[in-house]
Amino acid sequence: MIMSRIETAPDQAQGDLTERLLAGLPAEAVLTDPDVTAAYANDMASFCPAGAPAVVVLPRTVEEVQHVMRTATELRVPVVPQGARTGLSGGANASDGCIVLSLTKMDRILEINPVDRIAVVEPGVINATLSRAVNELGLYYPPDPSSWEMCTIGGNIGTASGGLCCVKYGVTAEYVLGLDVVLADGRLMTTGRRTAKGVAGYDLTRLFVGSEGSLGIVVRAVLALKPQPPQQLVLAAEFASAAAACDAVCRIMAGGHVPSLLELMDRTTVKAVNDLAHMGLPETTEALLLAAFDTPDPAPDLAAVGALCEAAGATQVVPADDAAESELLLQARRLSLTALEAVRGVTMIDDVCVPRSRLGDLIEGVERIADKHQLTIGVVAHAGDGNTHPTVCFDAADADESRRARESFDEIMALGLELGGTITGEHGVGVLKKEWLAREIGPVGIEMQRAIKQAFDPLGLLNPGKLF
């Protein structure tokens, strides 16, 4: 319930809000038909409540975003910023009576500069669109969440997205140099820089990355780019136990290797992929490890990593000879989530990141949790980062199975914290994990996080009910 509207009849309030928004936005940018706005209620997370937006706005300019925020502040209406709604934590879910602020129409690439190695973009640019545009100039924008063909850069910034590349290239946060942000009251603030380095004042840029739209609206971003690396070459290794595969991961990282990808699929995931796609992976495979290198000469690293896998007990090591074979080996990984979804119809994807030395303990613990709750839980992991996605498969029509799914999901986070990890490596907190954030960072941490929220958004209008 919005405080300032308690005294006003809902229809009247809605009319006022729409009228005020239309004073600074074209008609086609203001959607009020409930059948239409309902489509903007959710992101892709399970188990996250969502309300009915009062209105959806689709601004195309910074000025229009400023108008939306000024209107929201005047009328005390909450605002939920959205990208492509591919998030997995409910961070973009609407609240009742809110303005959904979709940034998808602000989708221009404003500049790509190969000397400065930067791109300047609007928030609605699709990750894949940017990636391809910079590739054409010999450049590389590394962050590659699984949803990269659909998700927006603004959404990536809001959730500090990761991907397969992170083990070598890091997460979205490391590629955001500067931002233009519309604050809750509609004022425009510029943070950061377009230079390679810069330490003038507190790092507000980083504060906005991963803030899930709760501190301001990102309307422009200066992104760092890398030179396009050579095509990566992949090696697949099969293991008779997850523990052996995790041992191989530890040996590879302790050995000083810098893979461009180091992914692990557990027995459950391998079986799900086999069932879906008949890929002929051996039934005896208890874990599959995929490592890749994108250096000019990956052969020595691949050979060394192959030997480390064998030393850790790999039952088979298959290095790709070329890019095409590499793609083939990666197919199994790419199909993992689809395959796990097919098991019981719905999945709930966890995102626990542990120190990579504890990866084996995490996977063993997840097996225990799956047994206890009589559930199928497949683990796909960005193993090189210790970032696991235990994926709980369940039938949403079965209330008891759904309850067990939710319980096991929480137990996996508890286990992650026990192992010195975090409840979220790359998906964010959103609605899904807000009770868990407090558990991870403790009361002093929460108090200081709230103080920052208060400093930027004293009226609490920006994406309320998320994070805390």
| Contacts (CB under 8 A) with a second copy, residues 360-399 | 382, 384-387
* Stretch of 44-52, 222-230, 285-293, 316-324 contacting a second copy, by CB under 8 A: 222-230
**Does residue number 23 form part of the binding site for a second copy (CB under 8 A)?**
no
Residue found under tokens 């309902």: 38
Residues with Cβ within 8 Å of 412's Cβ and at least 6 positions away in sequence, in order, are 350, 352, 365, 366, 369, 377, 390
- Residue 378 identity: G
- 230 is a site residue for a second copy (CB under 8 A): no
When asked if residue 430 is in the footprint of a second copy (CB under 8 A), the reply is no
Q: Determine the Cα–Cα distance for residues 455 and 215; give it in Å rounded to an integer.
A: 9
Q: Find the shortest distance in angstroms from Cβ 450 to a second copy.
A: 9
What is the spatial distance between Cα 416 and Cα 406, in angstroms, rounded to a whole number?
A: 16
- Mapped onto helix, strand or coil, the DSSP state of residue 187 is coil
* CB proximity list for 11: less than 8 A, separation 6 or greater: none
Nearer CB in complex with a second copy: 2/88:
88
Distance, in Å, from the CA atom of 44 to the CA atom of 279, rounded to the nearest integer, reads 28
Residue 143 binds a second copy, judged by CB under 8 A: no
Q: How far is the CB of 34 from a second copy (least distance, A)?
A: 33
| Residue 243 beta carbon to a second copy: minimum distance, rounded to whole angstroms | 15
- Chain position carrying tokens 């943070």: 191
Determine the number of helices (DSSP H) and then strands (DSSP E) in the chain: 14, 18
- Does 426 sit near a second copy (CB under 8 A)? yes
308 binds a second copy, rule: CB under 8 A: no
**Residue 136 touches a second copy, criterion: CB under 8 A:** no
Which one of 156, 211, 241, 463 is in contact with a second copy (CB under 8 A)?
211
Report CA Rg, the chain: 23
Among 151, 264, 353, 412, binds a second copy (CB under 8 A): 353
- Which parts of 277-306 interact with a second copy (CB under 8 A)? 295-297, 300
**Two structure tokens written together for 55:** 């209105």
Site string for a second copy, 401-420 (x = CB under 8 A): -------------------x
Closest separation in Å from C-beta 167 to a second copy = 7
Q: By C-beta, is 8 or 449 nearer to a second copy?
A: 449
- Point out which span in 120-128, 280-288, 353-361, 393-401 binds a second copy (CB under 8 A): 353-361
Q: Does 117 engage in binding with a second copy (CB under 8 A)?
A: yes
Q: Which is nearer to a second copy, 351 or 401 (CB)?
A: 351
The string of DSSP letters for 406-430 reads HHHHHHHHHHHHHTT-BS-SSS--T
Quote the CA–CA distance of 63 and 106 in Å, as a whole number: 12
Binding mask 75-114 for a second copy (x = CB under 8 A): --------------------------------------xx
CB nearer to a second copy: give 105 or 193.
193
Question: Under rule CB under 8 A, which residues in 165-194 are in contact with a second copy?
Answer: 166-167, 170-171, 173-174, 183, 187-191, 193-194
Tell me whether residue 56 or residue 362 sits nearer to a second copy (CB atom).
Answer: 362
Torsion angle of the four alpha carbons 297, 298, 299, 304, in this order, in degrees rounded to the nearest 10 = 130
Residue pointed to by tokens 């006003």? 8
Q: Tokens standing for 91?
A: 């961070």
CB of 341 to a second copy, least distance (A): 24
Binding-site member from 254, 299, 303, 323 for a second copy (CB under 8 A): 254
73 C-beta neighbours (distance < 10 Å), count: 18
Q: With binding defined as CB under 8 A, does residue 73 bind a second copy?
A: no
The two three-digit tokens of residue 19, written as one number = 């009228």
Which of 53, 421, 464, 465 contacts a second copy by CB under 8 A? 421
Pairing, β 118-121 against β 139-140: unpaired
Contact call for residue 355 and a second copy (CB under 8 A): yes
**Residues near 9 by Cβ (< 8 Å), separated by ≥ 6?**
none
- Give the C-alpha distances (Å, rounded to integers) separating 445 from 207, 256, 258: 14, 34, 33
Does position 440 interact with a second copy (CB under 8 A)? The reply is yes
- Closest C-alpha among 104, 78, 81 to residue 93: 81
437 binds a second copy (CB under 8 A): yes
CA–CA distance, 256 with 251 (Å, rounded to integer): 9
Size of the site for a second copy (CB under 8 A): 90
Least CB distance from residue 50 to a second copy, whole Å? Answer: 21
